[in-house]
Amino acid sequence: MFHPPRWMRSVVASKFAVPAFALAASLTLPAAVDAKTIRAVMHSDLRIIDPGLTTAYITRDHGYMVYDTLLAMDSKFKVQPQMADYKVSDDKLTYTFTLRDGLKWHDGTPVTAEDCVASLKRWGQKDGMGQKLMQFTASLEATDPKTITLKLKEPYALVLESIGKPSSLVPFMMPKRIAETPADKPIPEQIGSGPFKFVASEFQPGVKAVYVKNPDYIPRKEAPDWTSGGKVVKVDRVEWITMPDAQTAVNALQSGDIDFIENPSFDLLPVLAQDKELTIDTLSPLGFQTLGRMNFLHPPFDNPKVRRAAFLAMSQKPVLDALVGNPKYYKICGAVFGCGTPLETDVGSETLVKGNGMAEAKKLLAESGYDGTPIALMAPGDVVTLKAQPIVAAQLLRDAGFKVDVQATDWQTVVSRRASQKPPSEGGWNMFFTNWAGPDILNPVANVSVGGQGKKGGWFGWAEDAKVEELRDKFVRANSPDEQKKIAEEIQKEVYEQVIYIPLGQYTAPSVWRKELSGIVHGPATPVFWNIDKQGD
């Protein structure tokens, strides 16, 4: 007979109803009773499992479980060898990557250079840094089974940083037959060479995702450092359990039925801090930038005056107060490339950081010809760090004179729907909100939100801006940090004037776990599950 865990009994007895998916998740917990298992509640449910198809962070996190990378970034922002060592020619035009010994795919076949070339080419079609790298690439070939040779048309300063980038879209390696899947189609199998194997037979979207230790994985000898170094797996199994209700997840953590919550609700942190069985820590010191993104393809945001009016209506402080609440965890910041970074500047950000643009927003909207078309604003309610932004923004837009249709959904629906270029009346959208981890905004190439490629190759929203693209090319050709900073200022000015996107401030998001877990690795963006051990399981 099944006996509900303590957290479930307490929730039933409280005002919090147990969601069906949480109940289903709990019913599966007795599986693999002899295995050392970590049960985690991640920031979102996992539905899209192709890490090359979306920038959604839960899909990136899934990618780090299953796949590996040629290079990786350490905590000093230095790119390190991971699957491959590398050499750079004196003229900076040829990069040679040599695969290390013993690499195998999860189906038992050896990893080859041809596999990696195909993986890089697929990644290079979708990722902003990958696209820019491929524009400078003369050839990319497997010159023998273990050697990948990249030749450039001219020197390009971000080759290693692109291939070693730690956050979405990550250049994960996969077998050639899978990597040759068209970049806009989902891959048919989850076969990587990473430290965990994905258990497809146990995957239940909305309930759980399961990973088991890859016994054939050979870690590097270096200590783990962010996404670099030895990925030593010390548990048998990791289960990601879906619990959208924050209180339900906290009850499960306190009762010991789960081990880890990636993003507990900020308002529950004081309660969690009093529990001596728990550890609270910020795994990503770089934190996140939260932001709004408009759809340039359809009215009313195809009109730059309407976009500008919406921009002037926005204010960072009310967004951050609603999202985070405690100023300890947030920072008002008008820098497109992040505060505290080499490219920080406040150019063009005054109304965002001071919240004094409403009067001008109303005036400009009245002059713009806006016809009252409702803004289809997607509002996910199941992710702690994404619930507040659309609600606050909707009210600010209404205050400026917009009509707003707040469309409640879950985050994975937003992730799927935002890829649609159809008009809002046919299932498309006008505006959504998301977060970028620190590494994803550090420069004009990494930050895909500033791209101006339009419908072909652009990020969701499909901003088209030839000036921004010219400036991004100038940035990667710049010969000094001072020159790069000057170009970054020009880019930020254009981003704000054309409202390519709206940065709404920075915040950090603590994680919490039971003290039975040890060895948790801090990182630039993503929680990882290698190096973690668990006592008493």
Structure tokens at 73: 């970034």
> How far is it, in rounded angstroms, from Cα 450 to Cα 445?
8
Q: What is the pLDDT of residue 157?
A: 86
Q: What is the pLDDT of residue 155?
A: 92
- Nearest C-alpha neighbor of 283 from the set 261, 268, 251, 258: 261
Sign of dihedral through CA atoms 125, 127, 133, 139?
negative
- Nearest C-alpha neighbor of 526 from the set 403, 428, 440, 411: 440
- Cα of first residue to Cα of last residue in the chain, in angstroms, is 22
Q: What secondary structure does DSSP assign to 31-75, as a single string?
A: SSTTS-EEEEE-SS------TTT---HHHHHHHHHH-EESEEE-T
Q: Is the pLDDT of residue 451 over 50?
A: yes
165-180 burial string, b = 16+ CB within 10 Å, else e?
bbbbbbbbbbbbebbe
Asked if residues 442 and 338 have their Cβ atoms less than 8 Å apart, the reply is: yes
> How far is it, in rounded angstroms, from Cα 475 to Cα 443?
9
For the entire predicted model, the pTM comes to 0.83
Asked if residues 522 and 225 have their Cβ atoms less than 8 Å apart, the reply is: no
- Nearest C-alpha neighbor of 102 from the set 114, 84, 126: 84
Q: Is the pLDDT of residue 14 over 70?
A: no
Asked if residues 107 and 113 have their Cβ atoms less than 8 Å apart, the reply is: no
Q: Which segments within 298-438 are labelled E, that is strand?
A: 330-331, 375-380, 404-409, 431-437
Q: What is the pLDDT of residue 244?
A: 85
Q: Is the pLDDT of residue 220 over 50?
A: yes
Going by DSSP bridges, is the β-strand pair 237-241/502-507 parallel, antiparallel, or unpaired?
unpaired
Structure tokens at 353: 């950081």
Q: What is the pLDDT of residue 79?
A: 95
The mean pLDDT of 150-157, rounded to a whole number, is 94
Of the chain, the percentage scoring pLDDT greater than 70 comes to: 93
Helix (H, G, I), strand (E, B) or coil at 178: helix
| Domains parsed from the chain with CATH numbers | 6-46+194-283+511-534 (3.40.190.10), 68-179 (3.90.76.10), 288-507 (3.10.105.10)
Strand partners, 431: 294, 377
> How far is it, in rounded angstroms, from Cα 155 to Cα 111?
29
- Report DSSP state, residue 28: T
Asked if residues 336 and 447 have their Cβ atoms less than 8 Å apart, the reply is: yes
Lowest mean pLDDT among 126-130, 169-173, 331-335: 126-130
> How far is it, in rounded angstroms, from Cα 262 to Cα 258?
12
Asked if residues 203 and 209 have their Cβ atoms less than 8 Å apart, the reply is: yes
Burial of 158: CB neighbours in 10 Å, binned 0-12, 13-18, 19+: middle
Q: What is the pLDDT of residue 27?
A: 36
Q: Is the pLDDT of residue 212 over 90?
A: yes
- Give Cβ neighbours of residue 499 (< 8 Å, ≥ 6 apart): 294, 304, 307, 308, 310, 311
Distance of CA 152 to CAs 156, 277, 310, 438, Å? 8, 54, 42, 28
Helix (H, G, I), strand (E, B) or coil at 111: coil
Count of H helices and E strands in the chain?
17, 23
The owner of tokens 């998916």 is: 21
Q: Is the pLDDT of residue 193 over 80?
A: yes
> How far is it, in rounded angstroms, from Cα 38 to Cα 207?
16
pLDDT band at 506 (very low <50, low <70, confident <90, very high): very high
